[in-house]
Chains A and B, each alone.
Chain A
Amino acid sequence: MTGPVPTDAVEAREVTRSYQLDGLAVPALRGVSLTVPAGDFAAILGPSGSGKSTLMHLLGGLDRPTTGTLLLAGRDVAKLSQPELAALRNRTIGFVFQAFHLLPRTSAVDNVALPLVYAGVRAGERRRRAAAVLERVGLAHRLRHRPNQLSGGEQQRVAIARALVTGPSLLLADEPTGNLDTTTGAEVLALLETLNQESGVAVVLVTHDHEVAARAHRQIRMRDGLIEGPA
């Protein structure tokens, strides 16, 4: 959906990422190779500090690797400028965060339409498309509600709708059920499964919860900045 040749959503080759802390290079990723093909449903699993958040930021184009090659939708992020990377995130990647990160004082439909603002879509078209996606996540009756008028599960579904509205090839979900109770969490996971099956968007879940990870088609275990290998 992003080019004439079907490409993997993400391809990482020997990617490392280290942070400078008081002049010392602290490695967070120490050489990770990973491919997420189109339509994949994977879970990245690992204890905190294992590097799974760093990996997710790299996969989402929010950060760049220190060494190694990272291809997002077939394009090398090292060769992209900040604005180009922003445009790539906008078109090909959707984020779902543990804390939802919805804009306060802004209706569900306008929250969902936000990525379309930066895609240069006109206001009327933005609303129409946002409403359609909200309907798909089962919130057709909540278009005008603001985040503080929605339950946690509803807020996360608005966030999922926002992640999907530009028609991305990859949806990255960072602990998407972390702030939800078990029942609501299960509903959100079921929604992600459905979306993966129906629209073929690749889903990568980042979690430390084995039960949540078990819902994915495959699990990628991380420890100390390295992939331990599939279970």
Chain B
Amino acid sequence: MRFAEAWRVALDSLRANRLRSGLTMLGVVIGVAAVVVLVAIGTGAKQEVESQVQGLGSNLLLVVPGQVTFGNAPTSSPMTITDVDAIARVAGGRDRLTASLSSGETVRAGSTSEFVSMLGVLETTPTVFIRNLTHGSYLTRSDVDTARRVAVLGWSVAQHLFGDRDPVGLQMDVAGVRFRVVGVFERLGQSLGVDRDNEVHIPLTAAQRLLGTNRVDALAVKAPDGSRINELGGQIVAELTRRHPGIEFSAVTQDQILGVLGQILGVLTGVLAAIAGISLLVGGVGVSNIMLVSVRERTREIGLRKAVGARPRDIVVQFLIEAVLLTTIGGVTGIGLGIGAALLVAALSPVPAAITWWSVTLAFGVSATVGIVFGVVPAQRAGRLDPVIALRTE
């Protein structure tokens, strides 16, 4: 009953000072909205990266020389085509792996040219990775064996060079050398502002000839099943180390890649949320301030309530509820605003955003906590007021 009265009084007080309450809430609204939006963007980015890594295929092992750490320049690879054959035996067949040699190159058809990511690969690429074609067919074993100058284009490369024409059978230049288009990949779309369709696949052997090298940059192996993937990775690394003594190799799984990426994105999300959290803190200080004003304004009322039998605790609870009401109303508004803004960002920009129930629950909990934390000092001050002095106050 006392509690109900405290709620009624708190609501009445907020209503009586609409503008003041609104402006105080605004601090909390902005803070909570910022937390919700930034966490949504961080979560969205993480989900998108995850779905991309999963979308590559299943049970994949990526084999590269050196260590897989972010920030290190890739080591120049000592691997050659003979290593590919050796690893194919370890992995259980040529179908189970593909190799790549990559380079940024300019491609040209007629007067249009574009800078693309050129990959020299084996014909087994579509059995390892999930890559579907819309036109033509993929590279063949004989293309690779004879270093035939044929190319499969990413969707946006085909669009830029050939427009709406079917490019299969047409000619184009890769780094000044004439190639024939045999296929076009299905569209993958953009992610995090990066065009994933800006690729050109040519036979590994043709790429080696084009670049004047016999190296292979990386291998990708598809393990027969997920449970043996780490074991297989160990065998592959051991075989490569045996063949190239003194050189380090790594085999990483999709889970490991996701772990590293997830950590980076997690830290990024955390930092963004913390910055937004600071604005929530500032909002809390505003609440504290306005509650002190409210206590001072209502000194006589507090005195009267005490005279007619309110215990100090009743007064503390009354003002705490008022503070919590301020921040939770602000919090709910902020959550609404944050969700709206996140949906808008996701719809209108390439930045992904995903609302998670835990971030919304957390934002609400934090705003209520802010009310308690920043309301407690003013409320205790009210509870301690001497009724005699309070009643005398003008």
Complex: how many Å from CA A118 to CA B303?
Answer: 14
Known: A82-B312, A83-B311, A83-B313. A101 touches B304 (CB 8 A): yes
Q: Given the complex, which residues of B lie within 8 Å of A75, measured CB to CB?
A: none
Among listed A7-15, A34-42, A85-93, interface-contacting one: A85-93
When the two chains form their complex, are residues A118 and B12 in contact, meaning their CB atoms are under 8 A apart? no
Select one of A60, A83, A101, A115 contacting B312, CB under 8 A: A83
Instruction: Provide a sorted-by-A list of 8 A–B residue pairs whose CB atoms are within 8 angstroms.
Output: A62-B307, A63-B386, A86-B312, A106-B12, A115-B309, A117-B2, A118-B308, A118-B310
Q: Which residue of A lies closest to B314 (CB)?
A: A118
Minimal beta-carbon separation of B237 from chain A (angstroms): 73
Query: Is B73 among interface residues, defined by CB-CB distance under 8 A?
Result: no
Q: Which residues of B contact A (CB under 8 A)?
A: 1-2, 4-5, 12, 16, 300-301, 303-314, 386-388, 391
Is the CB of A57 closer than 8 A to any CB of chain B? Answer: yes
Given the known inter-chain contacts A105-B12, A117-B5, A122-B1, please indicate yes or no for A87 contacting B311, CB distance below 8 A. Answer: yes
B224 to chain A, nearest CB (A): 73
Residues on B with beta carbons closer than 8 Å to the beta carbon of A115: 308-309
Q: Is A114 an interface residue (CB 8 A)?
A: yes
Q: Does A162 contact B (CB under 8 A)?
A: yes
Query: Could you say which residues of chain B place their CB within 8 Å of the CB of A119?
Result: 309
A65-86 interface (Cβ within 8 A of B)? 82-83, 86
Q: What are the residues of chain B within 8 A of A114 when measuring CB–CB?
A: 305, 308
What per-residue 1/0 map shows which CB atoms of A103-146 lie under 8 Å from chain B?
A: 10110000000110111111100000000000000000000000
Chain B residues with CB below 8 A from A101, complex form:
300, 303-304, 391
Given contacts A57-B388, A63-B386, 6 further A-B contacts (CB under 8 A): A83-B312, A101-B304, A105-B16, A115-B309, A117-B1, A118-B310
Say yes or no: A90 contacts B309, CB within 8 Å: yes
Instruction: Report the bound CA distance from A118 to B2 in whole Å.
Output: 6
A121-B1 in contact (CB<8A) = yes
In the assembled complex, which residues on chain A have CB atoms less than 8 Å from the CB atom of B388? 57, 62-63
Chain A residues positioned under 8 Å from B12 (CB to CB): 105-106
Q: A62-B387, A101-B300, A103-B301 are in contact. Are A162 and B1 (CB under 8 A)?
A: no
A87 vs B310: C-alpha distance in the bound complex, in angstroms? 8
Summarize B's interface: helix, strand, loop or mixed.
helix
Which residue of B4, B5, B308 is within 8 Å of A89 (Cβ)?
B308
In angstroms, Cα B304 to Cα A91, docked, is: 15
- A123–B391 touching, CB < 8 Å: no
Q: How far is the CB of B327 from chain A (nearest CB, A)?
A: 23
Q: Could you tell me the distance in whole angstroms from the C-beta of A97 to the nearest C-beta in chain B?
A: 7
Q: How far is the CB of A171 from chain B (nearest CB, A)?
A: 12
Shortest Cβ distance from A174 into B: residue? B391
Q: Could you say which of B300, B303, B307 has the most chain A C-beta atoms within 10 Å of its C-beta?
A: B307
Chain B residues in 8 Å Cβ range of A118: 2, 305, 308-311, 314
| Distance in angstroms between the alpha carbons of A117 and B6 in the assembled complex | 10
Compute how far the CA of A95 lies from the CA of B308 in the bound complex, rounded to whole angstroms. Answer: 7
Known: A103-B301, A117-B2, A120-B1. A60 touches B310 (CB 8 A): no
Chain B residues with CB below 8 A from A123, complex form: 1, 4
Known A105-B12, A122-B1: A86·B309 in contact at CB below 8 Å: yes
Q: Could you say which of A63, A82, A83, A162 contacts B308, with CB atoms under 8 Å apart?
A: A162
Contacts of B1 in A (CB 8 A): 117, 120-123
A89 to B308, CA, bound (A): 6
Instruction: Name the A residues within 8 Å of B301 (CB-CB).
Output: 103
Closest to B310 in A: A118
Given A62-B388, A103-B301, A118-B314, the answer on whether A89 and B2 have CB atoms closer than 8 Å is: no
Chain B residues, Cβ within 8 Å of A103: 301, 304
For the complex, give the distance between the alpha carbons of A115 and B305 in Å: 8
For A162, what are the chain B residues with a Cβ–Cβ distance below 8 Å? 308
Query: Nearest Cβ in chain B — how far from A227, in angstroms?
Result: 20
User: In the bound complex, what is the Cα–Cα distance between A120 and B1 (angstroms)?
Assistant: 6
A63 to B305 Cα, complex, angstroms? 15
B307 contact set on A, CB distance < 8 A: 60, 62, 89, 95
Q: How near does chain B come to A31, taking the closest CB pair, in angstroms? A: 20
Distance of A196 from chain B, by nearest CB (Å): 20
In the bound complex, residues from chain A placing their C-beta under 8 Å from that of B304 are 101, 103
Per the bound structure, the CA–CA distance linking A101 and B5 in Å amounts to 18
Taking CB atoms, residues of chain B closer than 8 Å to A89 are 306-309
**Could you say which residues of chain B place their CB within 8 Å of the CB of A83?**
311-313
- Nearest-neighbour CB distance to chain A for B245, whole angstroms, equals 83
